A and B are shown apart, each in its own frame.
Chain A
Amino acid sequence: MGWVVFGAWFPSEPLPSNVQQVALISAEQFEKLSQQRQAPQVAPEPAPLNEPAAVQPAPDPEPQADPEPEIARPEPVAPAAPDPQVTDRPEPQPEPDVPVELPSAAEEPEVASLVPQLRPETAPRPVDRVAPEPVAPPEPDTKIDDIVQPEVAPEEGAETEQDVQEATAREAANDRIVTEENEGEDVAASAAPAVSKRPKTRPARPKPEPEPQVTEAAQSAEPEQPAKTQQSDTSSAVADALAEALAGGADVVAPEPSGPPLTLGEKDALRVEVSRCWNVGSLSTDALKTTVVVSVSLAQDGKPDTGSIRMLSSTGGSSSAAKQAYEAARRAIIRCGVRGFQLPPEKYAQWRDIEMTFNPERMRIK
């Protein structure tokens, strides 16, 4: 490194070695650059779809494309598909043999989120889920579900087919958002004991009602079920199911029981059930200031009638925020009600119609 006694006035002259060989951008390069910025002309505003797309006609005639398909859609209701693995809950069986693999596609990413190290793109966060109560990470191979299930295996040699219930646990969660800044402060929360697993038993209320569409629905669920043990003909399964249900379903003809009002505990249990699926994580800050009141009618088995779900009112946010808030509420009701809410059957008339107020005030910044 030589030196010059009388250098330039501002001699921050870099030495030749190591200098990045990047010439000052030329006019052409700049032009190209600006072209790059402008050339990919993308219409700033999206066009509605029904513009002539040459290839396809406007999508209107498509029933599925109907923007607001209301309840009375004549399409096959396909209730079987959402959750092939669970419907009824037979006696828990301790022995975990013959585990039938179930199509649990969601399992992969969710398990990954329990093991943050496996996701290099994510910062070292204990869990990226926030729930009302902290949930410790479940056993590594437990399926994650919103509803905690004991494991159920088919009874050996049973002549009728049985449901197989993989043990599930709720996904691990913190009871507040853990940021890099606050994560050291109270780690105890995430190490809290696992929530007790509530075995959910509910008297079966068989009631027959033939519905031909079910066959189709069942078929759509079938292909993914690699159930080696119980591959049976679907249509005969339907017939069997109907026969069985018909045989045992004497009581259902009676008028629905009304019974006394729900106890606080019963209401609270319902509240907790819905809470578990009420995911506000993808809502805008505006929607998180919006309280929506949603009405829903439940069937006697506790399952929500999806078509009955309505927003009665909203407060606090714009109408578009209310829409997002309502959609999150609707998802909560449908998803956590997919196996029926746990409600006392003898009080059906008390809970057939429900108004749920979803108030995100406490969820805004956890």
Chain B
Amino acid sequence: MRKILAALLIGAAAAAGAGAAMAQDGPLRIEIDQGVIEPLPYAVPDFVPETPAASEYAAQIARVIAADLSGTGLFREVPASAHISKVTGFDSPVKYADWKAVNAQALITGAVSVNGNQLTVRFRGHDVFAEKELGTGLQFTGTTDGWRRMAHKVADAIYSRITGESGYFDSRVVYVSESGPKNDRRKRLAVMDYDGANVQYLTNSASIVLAPRFSPTGDRVLYTSYESGFPQIHVLDVGQVQRKVLSSGDGTMSFAPRFAPDGRTIVYSQTQGGNTDLFSMDINTGAKTRLTSAPSIETAPSFSPDGSQIVFESDRSGSQQLYVMPAGGGEARRISFGQGRYGTPVWSPRGDMIAFTKQNKGRFHIGVMRTDGSEERLLTASFLDEGPTWAPNGRVIMFTRESQGSAGRALLYSVDITGRNLKPVKTPDGASDPAWSPLQN
């Protein structure tokens, strides 16, 4: 103990006396180009309840924040059992030394108050080793039944402050809920919070539904339904009670609908005489435009976030490959050249990458590449992975993984775009075809 103290004293003294030293040729310069990649340890003690009714939320909000942050794989929680000091007041001084001692590099403190059904959450992030606040403290106010969303918003703010990425926790996922055995599979549309909470069903399971997509504002969902006996495009206004069939034409199949960033145009596949091509439609006027006219399969389109281009898959070369063309149609440029087949391209919300499904040597992969096809990286490998969707910040991908064999079932998984942190997303039943919403307002 004494030596510890002595050494510390010496350190302080040396710093104090440093002014007397003779500097030699300016500072020493070194370059660090190697580091480590590991989760950042953080602590989020229970928030402080400031009104009696707040106590039930105070702990739960901290738990949701922790689940969000740890769930990214970029952070690792220092569990409460290891905490040295308790946070008893939101404005009490933070004992940084206690958090350093448990190697919590970031600390989140907060307070909750409830007034009627109004919930107010105040919070601060702290850089423990620098003994500084991470940005200024903030507060959210909302209704008590939105407490999970408020927790997600706090986590988004902290995540964003530490990583520099925008957040994605306050978002939803629309997907196809699946039940029943493989040869009697029942499908219905469902929507949930990104973390699997608050599942709600949007359709019944009387007819097959496939591949839903959120509108750019998250208020509508496009999907394919067999309600008429043929696959046709439906749009469901989640706020109103309206469903509408968009495509028509008895005996023609239309599927794979996606919104353009303008929220008014959609692009989709239509099959006539066994041949599948891409079309666009103004959903207000119903005016259609043919975008491709090749004897091959053209499907699974996805708009670039600026709306100027469409990436899609085609087997015009003899096997499924990825192509990019202008949003109004025109010459398409092939971007996938690796071994195997490429499908379901999805443009990232940041615009710099395209996620896809790849089939090669009997395995399925989720991968990403730059929009010109360079820097292809495969993130997963399994019996059957498909249908990637991007988190609103472009950092995480969710997809469908189906297990092999007679008892095989589909589940949702997510993975960081580095390929780290692959994990299942909890759903009450089987699940497929996830599509991420934008960040909620």
Contacts and interface: CB of A to CB of B under 8 A. Distances in A.
Contacts of A242: 5-6, 9
A78 B96 contact: yes
B153 A42 contact: yes
B9 A49 contact: no
A195 to B, nearest CB: 13
Interface in B272-328: none
Interface string A141-160: 00000000000000000001
A181 B379 contact: yes
B30 A280 contact: no
A39 B32 contact: no
A226 interface: no
A275 interface: yes
B14 interface: yes
Contacts, number: 481
Contact of A33 (B13, B27, B200, B226): B200
Given A56-B50, A109-B77, A279 B37 contact: yes
B74 A281 contact: yes
A173 B90 CA distance: 38
B129 A334 contact: yes
A106 interface: yes
A281 B5 contact: no
B14 A300 contact: yes
Interface residues of B, number: 142
30 contacts: A20-B205, A24-B204, A24-B206, A41-B146, A42-B141, A55-B113, A63-B93, A69-B132, A88-B3, A128-B38, A128-B421, A130-B36, A130-B37, A131-B37, A163-B3, A163-B4, A180-B379, A181-B379, A206-B6, A209-B16, A230-B1, A241-B1, A245-B6, A283-B163, A284-B395, A299-B10, A299-B14, A303-B11, A334-B129, A356-B30
A56 B74 contact: no
B217 interface: no
Contact of A37 (B84, B91, B165, B238): B238
Interface string B336-376: 00000000000000000000000000000101000000000
Contact of B164 (A223, A281, A305, A320): A320
B135 to A, nearest CB: 7
B31 A359 contact: yes
Contacts of A188: none
A18 B184 contact: yes
Q: Is the interface of B mostly helix, strand, loop or mixed?
A: mixed
A23 B204 contact: yes
Nearest to B242: A30
B407 interface: no
Most chain B CB neighbours (cut-off 10 Å) among A204, A209, A280, A362: A209
Given A279-B38, A286-B164, A324-B163, A244 B33 contact: no
Closest 6 CB pairs of A and B: A40-B146, A81-B97, A10-B229, A179-B419, A105-B82, A209-B13
Contacts of A359: 31-33
A137 interface: no
A124 B40 CA distance: 20
Contacts of B122: 49, 53
Contact of A43 (B12, B141, B367, B379): B141
Given A67-B135, A238-B5, A255-B20, A40 B31 contact: no
B2 A161 contact: yes
